[in-house]
DNA sequence: TCAAAAGTGTTCTTTATACACCCATGG
DNA sequence: CCATGGGTGTATAAAGAACACTTTTGA
């Protein structure tokens, strides 16, 4: 055989390269209380489709890759245009390129999907319109394309990464109490945690530092306010962009 | 503002979607003894470029996405064409889409990169030619494009995943001794491990099962041969394709 | 019998978990 | 004062690391 080199793979001038539409979408997570139970749960904003295929269905915010923007920049651009959101935490999730992603529609689209966390202040910037709506992650309607699969995968990714990384503060503002941080972990992991042990583990990890301030206005002993210790980096087992390798994002 | 919906993002008929060349590449790892120290180290096959840009430089095996193949199928096809390899373990690594990936060349290419593990039998199928060569992962020449960055990221990914997953058997054949399995861990993680503790941890995890056979021909007590216990699944913290979510690949 | 690696046992340290208890504030 | 969550102490269990020791083969 003489197909040893990349001869077949790269025709002259690239004019034989298969070109596909390249979309960029994002799964954005925020925490808010469930309207029924009142417990904190995962929510995400979806955008209503206004044309075929899947017209009227809810879909992930996103758009096409811009020729003059890299992947993450395109994700941020489409995100702010469709939802108004500019998340601090944004990370690539996966590239989806199955052949049957668009049901009957024969168009081939490859999607680079990102996932993001927003805290309440960021989420408040979201566009308020009939075409943008927040849904509970565990109570989604039928979504467009394979977006339900993508959301499920992103939820799984968030849950597993929460256990070994310190992404929880993506859901919190500049300062926060240990109880708030614990509530984030409880909401995402879906179980209650011992406050005493949680405190010791977090403090031992050196992930946060005391601001010296306390939160007042509660009907009990005022809790300390903490901030994230940006000086300390933790091991990360998830996909970071190569330039961030042994650093921790956010 | 009236950019609420995806109106701007999806022009009629998609003819306004930015089209880019979509490449698929793979970082393939195998273990073989270092020619100097004799210790097992990471090696990977590279393909020599036979045209500009980067003509003559070594590059990751890969090619263009085929219109009628999904991402993984395209990765396997380009892999076997360029290197002759058909790895059992193959997983998506990351999508690279920076604007300056091709140096002076203004062509925009987005690469979906996979990573793979091959055991000695698989590696023996590799094409033997001037245009395919194996390199030690810690002693690479200047590679084409941003492939050095990609390789470094893949190495980091392999190392971190080795610690919590059971991918080590991607480097081994059907049956193996505990010493062989331990050597794989030692080579990838770059440290020596206590044989006694390693044995207990692996056996306690139920990841492998005794074949009842022993390896003979050694100049000492014949070790047992084990195989992987495919019935038991371990938690995985890395990116799997959504359909594999709570399952473990390979 | 000796070398070398297989395989087992024991101790110690670290980490996680469960839960009792005191503290400080608003009402 | 009481209720409520903040915050500390402690005892137990599980997991990991270090290392002595016995076993079984080929030479």
Q: Give me the pLDDT at residue B18, please.
A: 61
pLDDT, mean over chain B: 87
A239 versus B164: which is more confidently predicted? B164
CA dihedral for B9, B12, B13, B15, sign (positive or negative): negative
CA of A207 to C1' of C10 (A): 37
Does residue B246 surpass a pLDDT of 70?
A: no
Residues B117 and B187 placed together within one structural domain of the fold: no
Furthest-apart CA atoms within chain A: distance in Å: 79
Query: CA dist A239 to A209, B90, B147, B166, Å?
Result: 27, 16, 17, 18
Q: Give me the pLDDT at residue A64, please.
A: 96
Q: Which chain A residues are within 8 Å of B129, Cβ to Cβ?
A: 4-5
Q: Give me the pLDDT at residue A52, please.
A: 85
Whichever domain contains B242, its CATH number is 1.10.10.10
**Does A60 map to a domain?**
yes
Residues A137 and A235 placed together within one structural domain of the fold: no
Residues B21 and B91 placed together within one structural domain of the fold: yes
Residues A34 and A21 placed together within one structural domain of the fold: yes
**Does B151 map to a domain?**
yes
Residues B216 and B196 placed together within one structural domain of the fold: yes
Q: Give me the pLDDT at residue B232, please.
A: 62
CA of B198 to C1' of C9 (A): 15
Domain that holds residue A169: 164-249
Q: Which chain B residues are within 8 Å of A71, Cβ to Cβ?
A: 95, 97-98, 110
Q: CA B216, CA A126: separation in Å to the nearest integer?
A: 68
**Does A4 map to a domain?**
no
Domain limit, last residue, from A118, A138, A160: A160
Residues A131 and A204 placed together within one structural domain of the fold: no
- State how beta strands B19-33 and A19-33 pair: antiparallel
Ordered per-residue pLDDT tens for chain A, 250 residues: 333 344 344 443 444 466 688 999 999 999 999 988 888 999 999 999 999 899 999 999 999 999 999 999 999 999 999 999 999 999 999 999 999 898 777 789 999 999 999 999 999 999 999 999 999 999 999 999 999 999 999 999 999 999 989 999 999 999 999 999 999 999 999 999 999 999 999 999 999 999 999 999 999 999 999 999 987 654 554 445 554 433 333 2
Does residue B247 surpass a pLDDT of 50?
A: no
Which residues are within 8 A (CB) of A112 and not within 5 positions of it... i.e. 6 or more apart? A22, A23, A24, A25, A65, A71, A75, A92, A95, B95, B97, B110
| pTM for the model | 0.90
**Does B60 map to a domain?**
yes
Q: Which of A66, A95, A161 sits opposite B95 (nearest CB)?
A: A95
Q: Do A157 and B239 touch (CB under 8 A)?
A: yes
* Rounded CA Rg of chain A: 21
Residue B219: CB less than 7 A from any atom in strand C: yes
**Does A3 map to a domain?**
no
Residues B95 and B169 placed together within one structural domain of the fold: no
**Does B18 map to a domain?**
yes
Record the tokens describing residue A123, joined without a space.
């989420």
Residues B143 and B105 placed together within one structural domain of the fold: yes
CA of A32 to C1' of D7 (A): 27
Closest nucleotide to residue B225 (Cα to C1')?
Answer: C6
Of the candidate ranges A24-38, A234-248, B36-50, B101-115, the one whose mean pLDDT is the lowest: A234-248
CA dihedral (A80, A85, A89, A95) in degrees, to 10, reads -50
Provide the positions of strand C that have an atom within 7 A of a protein CB. 3-10, 16-20, 23-27
Does residue B167 surpass a pLDDT of 60?
A: yes
**Does B2 map to a domain?**
no
3-state secondary structure (DSSP) of residue A62: strand
Which residues are within 8 A (CB) of A18 and not within 5 positions of it... i.e. 6 or more apart? B22, B64, B65, B66, B67
Q: CA B104, CA B98: separation in Å to the nearest integer?
A: 13
Q: Give me the pLDDT at residue A193, please.
A: 97
Q: Give me the pLDDT at residue B38, please.
A: 84
Which residues are within 8 A (CB) of A147 and not within 5 positions of it... i.e. 6 or more apart? A25, A59, A60
End-to-end CA distance of chain A, in Å? 50
Give me the helices (H) in A178-227, please.
178-189, 195-205
Residues A153 and A174 placed together within one structural domain of the fold: no
Residues B15 and B92 placed together within one structural domain of the fold: yes
Domain limit, last residue, from B100, B131, B160: B160
- Count of domains in chain B? 2
Structural contact between residues B114 and B63, judged by C-beta atoms closer than 8 angstroms: no
Domain limit, last residue, from B160, B189, B204: B160
Whichever domain contains B32, its CATH number is 3.90.79.10
Residues B67 and B83 placed together within one structural domain of the fold: yes
- Strands of chain B (E only): list them: 19-33, 40-48, 58-59, 62-64, 89-96, 109-117, 132-136, 208-214, 224-228
Q: Give me the pLDDT at residue B249, please.
A: 34
Residues A35 and A138 placed together within one structural domain of the fold: yes
Q: Do B6 and A49 touch (CB under 8 A)?
A: yes
**Does A1 map to a domain?**
no
Of the candidate ranges A182-191, B1-10, B160-169, the one whose mean pLDDT is the lowest: B1-10
Residue B40: CB less than 7 A from any atom in strand C: no
B250: confidence class by pLDDT, cuts 50, 70, 90: very low
């Amino acid at each position: 055989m003489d197909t040893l080199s990349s001869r077949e793979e790269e025709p002259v001038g690239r004019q034989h390269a298969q070109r596909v539409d390249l979309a960029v979408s994002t799964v954005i997570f925020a925490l808010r209380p469930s309207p029924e139970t009142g417990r904190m749960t995962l929510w995400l904003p979806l955008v209503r489709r206004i044309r075929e295929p899947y017209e009227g269905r809810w879909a992930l915010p996103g758009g096409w890759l811009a020729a003059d923007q890299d992947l993450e920049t395109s994700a941020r651009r489409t995100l702010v245009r469709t939802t108004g959101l500019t998340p601090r935490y944004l990370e690539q999730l996966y590239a989806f390129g199955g052949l049957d992603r668009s049901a009957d529609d024969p168009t081939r689209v490859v999607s680079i999907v990102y996932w993001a966390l927003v805290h309440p202040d960021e989420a408040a910037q979201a566009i308020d319109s009939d075409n943008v709506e927040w849904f509970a992650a565990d109570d989604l309607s039928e979504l467009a394309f394979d977006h339900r699969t993508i959301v499920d995968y992103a939820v799984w990714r968030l849950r597993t990464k929460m256990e070994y990384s310190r992404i929880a503060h993506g859901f919190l503002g500049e300062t926060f109490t240990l109880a708030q941080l614990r509530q984030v972990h409880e909401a995402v992991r879906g179980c209650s945690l011992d406050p005493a042990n949680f405190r010791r583990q977090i403090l031992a990890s050196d992930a946060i530092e005391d601001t010296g301030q306390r939160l007042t206005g509660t009907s009990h002993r005022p809790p300390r306010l903490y901030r994230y210790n940006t000086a300390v980096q933790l091991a990360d087992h998830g996909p970071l962009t190569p330039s961030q390798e042994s650093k921790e994002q956010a």
